[in-house]
Amino acid sequence: MKDLKNKTVWITGASDGIGKELAIQLAALGAKIILTARSTDKLNAVKDTLKGTGHIVYPMDLLKVADIPKGVEEVLNQAGSIDVLINNAGISQRSLAKDTAIEVDRKIMELDYFAVVALTKGVLPQMLKRKSGHIVSISSVAGKFGPPMRSAYCGAKHAVIGFMDSLRAEVHNDNIKVLNVTPGSVKTNISVNALEGDGKKHNVTDPLIANGLPVEYCVKQIIKGIQKDTSELLIADTKTKMAVYLRRFFPNQLFKLMTRMQAT
C-alpha cells in the first residue's frame, strides 16, 4: 500500500502519543482518518489539527469488548469501508507479578489483547469481501522478551504477536497484509498511564521513556512499514535491538541479564 491518499485509516488510541502522531502524519499523506479513544474532546482537538477533510471522530471505550461489534457496524455505516486498521490503544504496567491483583492482569489483557482481536474480527469481513486491507498492531518489544515489572503487559503483547502471526498466514491469499510493530522506548505517556498492582495510575515518566525515541520518528517508521508491506517492524535503539536478538539466539544469556535489570 504505497499510496495512502484517500485510504480510510482507523486508529485506536488516537487521542495521544503514537496514535495522535499517526493521525497527523497519515492525514498529511492524504488519508481519511477515523479517530477512536474514550475522550470526545481530545479526539476533536486532534481532528482540528489534521490536514484534509472527511475525518471521523468515533469515541469508544475498548475495555467494553462486547460493544465493539456494534461500534464497528456504526463506523462502517459512516465510512463505507476500512482500508487500514491500526490497533494502537493499550495500557502498560509497573508492578511485580506477586503484587498485581488478578483484576489488573485481566484489565490489561482485555484492552491490549481481546479488544485488538475483537476489533480486527469486526473489520476483517469487509476486507475479505474486497480482497484488500491492512491490519497493523502496535505491540511492543515487551512482546519479544520479559523485563521485570511488566508481567501482565508482556503477556498481552506476546499474545497479540501470536494472534497476528497466525492471522497473517490465514489471509495471505486474500491480499490482506498484517503488520506487527514492536517499538522499544518511545517518548509518550505510556508509563504515566500505566497501572500499578492495585490498579492505580503510575503517574511517573520512567527514565527509559523520557530518553526514548521521538514519537515522530517512530511513526515515520511505522508508515514506511505499511507502505512497504512489512510483516514485522522493530523500532528501537541498538541496546534494545540486541536484547531482541539475544532472546532469539541466546535466550539464557538474556534471561540472566533480565535478573540484573533494575525494576522501575
d(CA 57, CA 39): 10
Task: Tell me how far CA of residue 150 lies from CA of 70, 139, 140, in angstroms.
Answer: 32, 14, 11
**Which grid cell is 73?**
457496524
d(CA 195, CA 203): 9
Does the annotation mark 217 as catalytic? no
- Residue pair 141/183 in contact (Cβ under 8 Å)? The answer is yes
Q: Residue 118: CB partners within 8 Å, gap ≥ 6?
A: 65, 68, 69
27: helix, coil or strand?
helix
- Sequence letter at residue 226: I
Dihedral sign from CA coordinates of 170, 171, 173, 177: negative
Out of 58, 113, 153, 245, the active site residue is: 153
**Which grid cell is 3?**
499510496
d(CA 163, CA 13): 20
d(CA 127, CA 80): 11
d(CA 25, CA 2): 14
d(CA 202, CA 225): 32
Residue of 35, 37, 86 lying closest to 222 (CA atoms): 86
d(CA 59, CA 49): 17
Which sequence positions are flagged as catalytic?
A: 153
